[in-house]
């Protein structure tokens, strides 16, 4: 395995001087407050200990993956020859994907403490209130929520937010249509409660896969199998005593229980919680709950927190994968040539795509594939298509292309689709739906804004040339006069 557990990764951060231990904070405001400011300045990874009201050793870790270097390290992607190639190396690694089934083991550190029945007490852990206006303490942010399809062997692991409601009850918010939602509905349709595990603090690879920040594991493929592939060895799991579901053997804390159907008394008020889009769009509304029957935890457990901050440049995992990777795979599958990098430049869902134009309708073909207008939970999306001389990772370059190459009369399109995503800040209040057992959530019309900022193919050769020196001269100047430059 790349990492035995979360602690192995924290040790690596410590060795490289990137881990800052912080003592004596209050879980109410200070852990979240410090994390917000440090994340905004892309500062150190944080490990909080000696938290007010809690025993020494009961810790919280945050800001662990937010730089490209840390993300690459966490996923075992070589940083050499340069950080720029990390996205390509990661995509290559995934291209060779063969499912590696998890391996059941009988013991592991997660079993160091087992609480059942009346011993269950979720307040045992120093769960922070992450943002000032959050409506609760979220123990589950960068978690792995583990559920099994009742009809097949498929086991899913997704990051869905989980709040502590009382000693033995959590709330959980899963968007309609996500794998965890599809699975729980199958149990509810049979009149059963859905068995569930919430793993809080596990090694980085499963953590990353659960959130789809770096790769969206398709329905029917287990995140455990992808993790096994990336680790190069089967993922060690232990069966939960109540549900029989597999938990990471080296997890810090695992909560085990059942999600009852939203019928009857199934729902509890949930939220608000500062969301990854940078807003409180969900607000406080009814969501499903987890009836907790057992809690497993290591000695001196660590809650891993992934509390969203202002999204400008403050990603959870550096975004060289995720939806950008998926868009690239769709273009490749459709046989569209000349595609360069695809980068998520802003939250939520604004992408820049580089294309080397090869024929007259090339850009239209790209748009047709990127904008399916289908039923997705991404809400409104913006796509900016640029020529491949533009560095799509640099927002200033992309904006220059929009400002100088997009012809507004033909370069801008608005293409409708539908979505059921609840967190889009632009959904009008009356269209934001509550969960409903029979129908799920209401869909709404979500549009794609497409900005073609490419030079017109028909006269690309006579388009005004870009006024920078050619690469040879630039290289020569750099070689001789590099001492005048900072990079
Ligand atoms: C920190 C974090 C929190 C998230 N919280 C939620 C959430 O509360 N509800 C949700 O539906 N998706 C949430 N997501 C997004 C899902 O994890 C993501 O869509 C993932 O693909 C879900 O797993 P699935 O594809 O197996 O359904 C969150 C992602 C991250 C990184
Ligand atoms: Mn999944």
Walk me through the domains of the chain, giving residue ranges and CATH numbers: 6-305 (2.30.110.10), 322-476 (3.40.1670.10)
What is the distance in A from the centroid of ligand 1 to the CA of 228? 20
Query: Mean pLDDT over residues 262-277, rounded?
Result: 90
Q: Tell me the two tokens of residue 72.
A: 């690459």
Query: Mean pLDDT over residues 340-347, rounded?
Result: 89
SS3 466: coil
- The best mutation among 35, 159, 222, 271 to test binding of ligand 1, ranked by most ligand atoms within 8 Å of the C-beta, falls on 159
Q: Does 173 contact ligand 1 (Cβ within 6 A)? A: yes
For the CA of 180, the nearest atom of ligand 1: 27
Query: Mean pLDDT over residues 341-357, rounded?
Result: 92
- Judge contact between 47 and 10, C-beta under 8 A: yes
**pLDDT tens readout for residues 420-467:** 788 889 988 877 777 665 566 777 788 899 999 999 999 999 999 999
- The best mutation among 35, 143, 178 to test binding of ligand 1, ranked by most ligand atoms within 8 Å of the C-beta, falls on 178
The position carrying tokens 């040790």 is 11
Report which bound ligand comes closest to the CA of 174: 1
Quickly state the pLDDT bin for 311 (edges 50, 70, 90).
low
Query: Mean pLDDT over residues 40-58, rounded?
Result: 96
**pLDDT tens readout for residues 226-265:** 999 999 999 999 999 999 999 999 999 999 999 999 887 8
Q: Tell me the two tokens of residue 257.
A: 């229980």
Q: Does 147 contact ligand 1 (Cβ within 6 A)? A: no
60 membership: H or E segment, kind and range: strand 59-62
pLDDT at 435: 67
- d(C-alpha 467, C-alpha 162), whole Å: 53
Report which bound ligand comes closest to the CA of 212: 1
15 sits in the region (left: phi over 0; alpha: psi -120 to 50; else beta) called: alpha
Give rounded-to-5 percent helix, strand, coil for the chain.
Answer: 30, 25, 45
CA 250-252-257 angle, to 5 degrees, is: 100
What is the distance in A from the centroid of ligand 1 to the CA of 144? 9
Query: Mean pLDDT over residues 150-174, rounded?
Result: 97
- Judge contact between 64 and 13, C-beta under 8 A: yes
- Judge contact between 235 and 209, C-beta under 8 A: no
- d(C-alpha 372, C-alpha 333), whole Å: 14
Quickly state the pLDDT bin for 146 (edges 50, 70, 90).
very high
Q: Whose CA is nearest to atom 30 of ligand 1?
A: 211
pLDDT at 85: 80
**pLDDT tens readout for residues 182-209:** 999 999 999 999 999 999 999 999 999 9
Does the bond joining 348 to the residue before it have cis omega, within 30 degrees of 0?
yes
Strands 302-305 and 59-62, by their bridges, are: parallel
- The best mutation among 161, 186, 204, 280 to test binding of ligand 1, ranked by most ligand atoms within 8 Å of the C-beta, falls on 161
pLDDT at 314: 58
- d(C-alpha 382, C-alpha 371), whole Å: 10
For the chain, give the percent of residues with pLDDT over 70.
Answer: 96
């Amino acid at each position: 395995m790349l990492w035995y557990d979360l602690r192995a990764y924290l040790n690596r951060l410590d060795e490289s001087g990137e881990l800052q231990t912080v003592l004596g904070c209050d879980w109410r405001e200070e852990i979240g407050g410090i994390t917000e400011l440090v994340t905004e300045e892309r500062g150190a990874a944080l490990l909080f200990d000696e938290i007010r009201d809690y025993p020494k050793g009961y810790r919280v870790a945050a800001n662990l993956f937010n730089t490209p270097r840390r993300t690459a390290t966490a996923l075992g992607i070589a940083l050499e020859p340069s950080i720029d190639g990390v996205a390509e190396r990661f995509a290559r690694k995934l291209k060779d994907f063969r499912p590696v089934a998890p391996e059941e083991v009988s013991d592991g550190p997660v079993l160091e403490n087992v609480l059942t029945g009346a011993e269950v007490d979720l307040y045992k852990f120093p769960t922070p209130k992450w943002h000032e206006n959050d409506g609760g303490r979220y123990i589950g942010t960068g978690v792995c929520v583990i559920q099994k399809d009742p009809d097949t062997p498929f086991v899913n692991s997704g990051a869905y937010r989980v709040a502590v409601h009382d000693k033995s009850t959590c709330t959980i918010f899963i968007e309609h249509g996500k794998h965890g939602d599809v699975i729980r509905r199958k149990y509810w349709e049979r009149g059963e409660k859905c068995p569930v595990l919430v793993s809080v603090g596990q090694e980085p690879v499963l953590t990353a896969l659960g959130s789809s920040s770096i790769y969206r594991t398709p329905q029917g493929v287990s995140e455990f199998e992808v993790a096994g592939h990336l680790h190069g060895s089967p993922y060690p799991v232990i069966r939960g005593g109540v549900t029989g579901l597999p938990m990471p053997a080296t997890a810090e804390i695992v909560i085990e229980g059942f999600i009852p159907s939203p019928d009857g008394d199934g729902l509890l008020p949930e939220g608000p919680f500062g969301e990854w889009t940078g807003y409180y769009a969900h607000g406080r509304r009814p969501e499903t709950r987890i009836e907790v029957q057992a809690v497993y935890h290591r000695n001196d457990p660590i809650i891993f927190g992934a509390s969203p901050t202002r999204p400008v440049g403050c990603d959870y995992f550096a975004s060289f994968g995720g939806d950008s990777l998926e868009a690239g795979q769709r273009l490749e599958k459709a046989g569209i040539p000349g595609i360069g990098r695809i980068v998520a430049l802003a939250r939520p869902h604004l992408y820049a795509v580089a294309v080397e134009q090869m024929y007259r309708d090339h850009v239209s073909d790209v748009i047709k594939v990127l904008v399916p207008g289908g039923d997705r939970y991404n809400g409104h999306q913006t796509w900016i298509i640029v020529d491949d001389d533009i560095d799509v990772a640099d927002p200033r370059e992309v904006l220059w292309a929009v400002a100088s190459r997009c012809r507004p009369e033909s370069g801008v399109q608005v293409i409708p689709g539908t979505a059921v995503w609840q967190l889009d800040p632009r959904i009008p209040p009356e269209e934001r739906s509550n969960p409903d057992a029979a129908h799920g959530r209401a869909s709404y019309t979500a549009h794609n804004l497409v900005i073609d900022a490419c030079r017109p193919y028909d006269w690309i050769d006579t388009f005004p040339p870009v006024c920078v020196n050619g690469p040879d001269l630039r290289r020569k100047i750099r070689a001789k006069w590099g001492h005048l430059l900072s990079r």
